[in-house]
Structure 1
Amino acid sequence: MREDVRAPKQPLDRTARTTVLLLFAAWTVDYVDRLLVNLALPDIGAEFGLDHTQQGLVLSAFFLAYAVFQIPGGLLADRFGAVRVMLAAVLLWSAFTALTGLVGSFVLLLAVRFLFGAAEGVFPGASIKALSERTEPAQRMTANGWMQSSNAFGVLLAPAIAAPLIAWWGWRGAFVGVAVLGIFVFLALRKWLPAPRTAVERVDSRSRDVLLSPVMWRFALMFFGYDVIVWGLSSWVPSYLQTERGLTLTEAGAITALPAVFGGIAVVLGGRWSDRLRGRHRVIILPAMAATAICLVVMAHSEPTALFAVFLTLSGMFAALCYMPIFAVPLRSLPPNWPGRARA
């Protein structure tokens, strides 16, 4: 429901804080696992004799499955419960992370990465639903902002964990080693995740009521635009800086880390402001996306690398500011037993 007045600030209570902390850890491991392949890809390509097209297919296999399984993941969470689906997803993606280090051919590598993407694709809807069940509507976007800021933390943490592991154990050992993190997350969620605030009601509305909602498709379109910007920059900029601007891998990594840092802060702020504005997402999204567009144009025409880095960072920051407001209306207005399918 749309409100025209600002809501009073409602701090996170113990249940919400514990839930956010555990899901922050789960999302961080999620990102470390998915980004490991980017760092290991040169070694993987060398061992299997892969050209650039084949290496691109390795990455695309994950993203295809991740996108396809978002909706089924949300539906499963609504039907069978967020915690069950979430725990299953963590175990499965950890298993496929370990199996990535054991594959013996390019075809098997593609298959395992596709299955890994499917397992991770099931997780977002379940995690959003679990958080919604353990937070009050007035604090929900703040809690989601803190949880989703883990994405930026995972982007920063992945190289710090993966690089030493690859150097010590090789790319195969790195995948097996990182998979262990998922086991710790599974055990922590199972032991310490608080119970829902109220009994979770059985979903009695048909899935198509949500899937055919014009409002939900508008939000899906907005999130698609956000992903095109964020993942487009994270995939293209590192290689661009090395091939076109002559930067080293370390220098390129330092520059691309800046949008992650400021983007993480922006996600938290976007969540807090969404709660204060009670779902009036346009107040944040419209000016932030306009600023993103301007920064992208200026960035593309910036000759000095330092100026390029500044507007790259601003583009990522303004885009990230829209992340939680996109979810503001559905997460605040839908019943707690619906956010799984809505997030998908």
Structure 2
Amino acid sequence: MPAPSSRAASTLSADRIVRTTVVLLFSAWLIDYVDRFVISLALPAIGVEFDLSRGQQGLVVSAFFLAYALCQIPGGMIADRFGGARVMLWALLAWSLFTALTGYAWSFAALLALRFAFGLAEGAFPAASIKVLVERTTLRQRMSANGIIMSSNSIAAVLTPVLAPILIVAFGWRSIFWSAAAVGLLVSLAVRRWLPEPTDNVRTPGFRVPVRVVLRSGVLWRFAAIMFGYNVIGWGLSTWAPTYLSEERGLPLTTAGPLMAIPALGAALATIVGGRLSDRLAGNHRLVIVPAMTVAAIALLVLSQTSSFAGFAVCSTIAVFSASLAYMPIYAVPMRSLPPAYVGVGSSIIGFGGQLAGMVSPAAMGVLADRFSFQAAFGFLVVGAVIAAVMAVFTPQDTESFLAATVFPGDRNIDTAPAAEHS
């Protein structure tokens, strides 16, 4: 059998690098989201043990997102400075430690402190992981690869409600945090052992935009607003649906948890489809986000009024599927357009918007459920769909317009030519 040509061998090697990177990042994001989701399944038991109101339970979730949001942009700057792989690995190890320590919480105050520390540890991970991906993929495969990776978020939302209640019933709520921490340690070892080195297809940018310019970029903050709207829906539903089904509808946790796996399966598929659409459209995210969020808003309005299990399952599945179609398109233009040296800080601004929603949505819904009803709490989620759809219209739809809007016009020290696309 003849030996492959050097170009063919290089292609095989490049494909292997992408596949290995995708598998490892998928695994890291999977345990990242498992570690976040377990608190939602544990909240009913935690609320009973520490005698917490729904508002206080919402604060337990929001404490994580407060710290997580605060660390988004510094984490991106650190990843750009010290390298995505190194920052990602240390973040994984640190948050696994605080996940384990959550299992030893002895009071409401201790729980808040530990979840805050957990958020600080995870804060640098998103931007670092995106930087790792960008350094090992080409433009034409980037969003499809990221769609597969980020479908891990929804897979975690499938696995956690199925497995966590079994552990809670058998061994208590603390056991799920210890179990998740052990898996996180194993994933960190795999990342350290098998993550490939960056490829040479990432061209050093012909210009260097000062970080302060990136931070002051109004266009990136508009993309952050889209992510805020998207995550209002995601974190609001995932936090409170198990409690609603358990406390208001009388379902045992072992039934309520798996019921939430149904919309999560739809979200996993929608995230992958959204990634492929993003690569095919080369941006133009409003073509996906506006109709997707319109459908999500309608489904959420119906969900807030439904009184049947079947109606809740159908409406939540439609809402989550539609919203998840928008996930990858939010990142499509920035990830295709940002210079590699600024992918970390640029993507962290967008991520900040999402984590701000994670801080606001669970707490706001908890207060609404306490003072009014769960119907009012679920109705609040429509606000997220509206924000995402509106802001999608007021953001650049391609690389050329993104770069023109991001770089200060008239600055002669900045070359506005976009980075070359690699095949």
TM normalised by structure 1 equals 0.89
Are the aligned partners of 1:66 and 1:120 in contact in 2 as well (CA < 8 Å)?
A: yes
Q: Partners of 1:299 and 1:172 in 2: how far apart?
A: 32
Q: Partners of 2:249 and 2:53 in 1: how far apart?
A: 23
Once structures 1 and 2 are overlaid, which stretch shifts more, 201-210 or 221-230?
201-210
Q: 1:282 aligns with which of 278, 281, 286?
A: 286
Are the aligned partners of 1:270 and 1:321 in contact in 2 as well (CA < 8 Å)?
A: yes
Alignment of 1:147-186 (within 5 A): 147-186=149-188
Alpha-carbon offset, residue 82 of structure 1: 0.3
1:121–1:200 Cα change, 3 Å: farther
Aligned position for 1:83: 85
Q: Partners of 1:173 and 1:251 in 2: how far apart?
A: 19
Alpha-carbon offset, residue 180 of structure 1: 1.2
1:303–1:98 Cα change, 3 Å: closer
Alpha-carbon offset, residue 52 of structure 1: 3.6
Q: Partners of 1:42 and 1:14 in 2: how far apart?
A: 44
Aligned position for 2:31: 29
Q: 1:188 aligns with which of 187, 190, 206?
A: 190
Q: Partners of 2:323 and 2:18 in 1: how far apart?
A: 26
Aligned position for 2:256: 252
Are the aligned partners of 1:200 and 1:337 in contact in 2 as well (CA < 8 Å)?
A: no
Q: Partners of 2:170 and 2:247 in 1: how far apart?
A: 28
TM normalised by structure 2 equals 0.74
Aligned position for 1:3: none
- Give the alignment's Cα RMSD to 1 decimal: 2.4
Are the aligned partners of 1:281 and 1:325 in contact in 2 as well (CA < 8 Å)?
A: yes
Q: Partners of 2:283 and 2:24 in 1: how far apart?
A: 25
Are the aligned partners of 1:100 and 1:109 in contact in 2 as well (CA < 8 Å)?
A: yes
Are the aligned partners of 1:133 and 1:337 in contact in 2 as well (CA < 8 Å)?
A: no
Deviation string 1:210-237 (CA, Å, 9 cap, x unpaired) is 1221221111010100011121222233
Aligned position for 1:323: 327
1:286–1:172 Cα change, 3 Å: closer
Q: Partners of 2:265 and 2:211 in 1: how far apart?
A: 37
* Structure 1: unaligned runs, 5 residues or longer: 1-9
Is 2:313 aligned against 1:309? yes
Deviation string 1:161-203 (CA, Å, 9 cap, x unpaired) is 4334334443334322321111111111111111111278599
Structure number with larger C-alpha Rg: 2
Aligned position for 2:302: 298
Are the aligned partners of 1:31 and 1:158 in contact in 2 as well (CA < 8 Å)?
A: no
Equivalent residues, number: 335
Q: 1:225 aligns with which of 202, 226, 229?
A: 229
1:215–1:307 Cα change, 3 Å: same
Is 2:249 aligned against 1:240? no
Aligned position for 2:116: 114
Once structures 1 and 2 are overlaid, which stretch shifts more, 278-287 or 264-273?
278-287
Aligned position for 2:8: none
Q: Partners of 2:52 and 2:300 in 1: how far apart?
A: 33
